[in-house]
A and B are shown apart, each in its own frame.
Chain A
Amino acid sequence: MKAPTIKNDLFVMLIFSAVILTMPIWLEPMGANYPDLLQKFAIFGIFAVGYNILFGLTGYLSFGHAAFLGIGSYTAVWSFKLLTMNIFPAIIFSVLISGLFAMLIGFITLRRSGIYFSILTLAFAQMFYNLAYSVLTPITNGETGLQLTRNDPRIIDRLFSEAGEGLPSTDFFGFAMSGYSGFYICAALLIITFFISQRIFHSPFGVKLRAIKSNQTRMKYTGYNTRPYLLAAFVISGMYAGLAGGLMAATDPLAGAERMQWTASGEVVLMTILGGVGTLIGPMLGVGIIKYFENIFSALNDQALLQAYAFMPDWLANIMVAITSPFVGEGWHLTLGALFVFIVIFLPGGIMEGIDRIKKLFTKKPVEPEKEGSLS
């Protein structure tokens, strides 16, 4: 586990950027290159990469990160309503406001560690979720969700032009947030945030966070005040979640409280573990797999399955459909659950551990166990 050099890091960045930006091309054969899904890949990528800074480096398992996602979304929609349809101020505010909330929640929850920390974060997220439906309805518009209307003030936009017919759409200095241009804007942000995450992983700050995960007692008796380190990691990952939430609102200007529900918090935990906790690339892989399954598997039905088995004799095809149909369509959660169980039992290090093992098979050299938690 040699310390990764800067050259090495830049090489990884280059490959990563190339892979992300060419996604519309290489995802085509898999039928996953439509803009909505691509945007989701990039947005949840940002969410998971940020979550991994907290969970992967410090080992603090937050079950409430969806709260920041929701806060980011509401902030962005309010920016669209009050200021302008340009997403630039919207995502800046999303990041700042969710960072503020993260500081507040982190300040309280980080007094505990382990399961108590997880429960506290879960409690906060559920609290926000329920507030959004009840006392905060003037801000969140309750169950309907916060939507754009024609009568919104949009102060900055009004300076330049009159309100047009129908609802305006979001843009980034003229580039529409829908379709492929929307994907490229999200992808650019993903690449920037991934770069920041890589810098954190390979900085003295990052290695100190990993030391806190490894042995917090030793850190204290080595002269470190661990609380501000944890808080910094918590706030950074909260800001990532806020950015992701802001982008969700930017690609689809509607913010609902269900974005803050515990299932949404659980999803990012799932993605991170599936891909490989504490690795740089792992969370991205987790996002890819989960979002792909969600979109592709959930769209399959018996008809589509029959077509897929068309090469088989009819009786066999019917049996195969009967066996596989519970796993697709509405039942795609079953596939996801089975996959998750398989990964946790056989590959506790996630897909990244699987890749490492395959690599070792080919190198044949007795390599020392590599668990550094970085791609080098």
Chain B
Amino acid sequence: MSNTILEIDNVQKSFGGLKALSDLNLKIEEGKVHAIIGPNGAGKSTMLNVCIGQLSPDSGTVTFNGENLIGKSPHEINQTGISRVFQTPEIFPDLSLLQNVMIPAFAKREGAFKMNIFRSLSNEHDVQDEACKILEDIGLIGQLHSHAGSLSRGDKRRLELAMCLIQHPKLLLLDEPTAGMARLDTNKTIDLLKKIKEGGMTKIIIEHDMHVVFSVADHISVLAQGTIIASGTPDEIRGNPKVQEAYLGGAHL
């Protein structure tokens, strides 16, 4: 049994009369890829939003490495070692790919605020080299100096992933990393996810594509109506009749 890195305990969140999360309990083990699946509106993204400080829950706690995350602002949570890939890519469209990747690296190195006015960006060789290496890994090194806004949707997602990876987070949250991608692109992303899995980084991945889920996940939790209805290894989930009924509609996996 390995360590629990993230613990979501009794989290409740309502929007008006709608209960988005009710009594949510979840433990994420260190070094594992934990997939969250569930129908639309089950509360998957809300759960991630609570984890990164975008939303504060009505009650309950989120503990990361023994530290309570509730009440912390998003940048403080990131600085504790959590990075997130959003459902719609959040990148810096007006900056070059290189700058897009360098900025998160600066955040990791310098913390939440530093006024280094008299350093020249072109002298930051360490950060530049690291950024180039990651861009090479995701196959975007050829467009180093072009605007991120001009990338295709799939490339934007990969760029955002690179921006998270350069921070070497302890926990990486992926919100539908392959949504809207063509099959070829999806396979490229699966390969990439498998590759970074070897690094031992803990990951929570929300995904609709079962092909992706079953190729990368060590552990799967099923979320429905704001609460976990089943949790287990991919094989257990595949065989769980409750899951098949509630979500998969009896589809063959």
A in complex with B = yes
Residues of A within 8 A of B (CB): 1-6, 9, 196, 199-200, 202-208, 210-211, 213-215, 217-226, 228-229, 232, 368-369, 371-373
Of the listed stretches B37-45, B97-105, B190-198, B209-217, chain A binds B97-105
Most buried by B among A196, A215, A218, A223: A223
Residue of A nearest to B98 (CB): A3
Bound CA span A313–B186, Å: 75
Of the listed stretches B2-10, B21-29, B108-116, B245-253, chain A binds B108-116
Residues of A within 8 A of B116 (CB): 203-205
Bound CA span A55–B110, Å: 25
Shortest distance from the beta carbon of A203 to any chain B beta carbon, whole Å: 5
- Per the 8 Å Cβ criterion, residues 44-98 of B in contact with A are 52, 54, 73-75, 78-79, 83-84, 86, 90-96, 98
Partner of A224, one of B54, B95, B113: B113
Known contacts A6-B123, A214-B92; A204 and B106 CB within 8 A of each other? yes
Residue of B nearest to A373 (CB): B94
Whether the pair B122, A4 counts as a contact (CB closer than 8 A) is: yes
Partner of A221, one of B78, B94, B120: B78
Residues of B within 8 A of A3 (CB): 98, 121-122
Shortest distance from the beta carbon of B211 to any chain A beta carbon, whole Å: 28
Is B146 located at the chain interface by the 8 A CB criterion?
yes
Known contacts A221-B52, A221-B90, A223-B104; A204 and B112 CB within 8 A of each other? no
Bound CA span A315–B78, Å: 75
18 more A-B contacts (CB under 8 A) besides A202-B120, A368-B147?
Answer: A1-B145, A2-B145, A3-B121, A196-B117, A199-B120, A202-B122, A204-B116, A205-B114, A205-B116, A210-B95, A214-B94, A215-B93, A218-B91, A218-B163, A219-B103, A220-B73, A225-B73, A228-B113
Interface residues on B, range: 35 or more
Bound CA span A9–B118, Å: 13
Known contacts A223-B78, A223-B104; A213 and B115 CB within 8 A of each other? no
Whether the pair A215, B145 counts as a contact (CB closer than 8 A) is: no
Is B167 located at the chain interface by the 8 A CB criterion?
yes
- Per the 8 Å Cβ criterion, residues 112-140 of B in contact with A are 112-124
Bound CA span A151–B96, Å: 60
Shortest distance from the beta carbon of A195 to any chain B beta carbon, whole Å: 11
Partner of A214, one of B95, B122, B150: B95
Residues of A within 8 A of B123 (CB): 6
Bound CA span A226–B78, Å: 13
Partner of A225, one of B92, B112, B145: B112
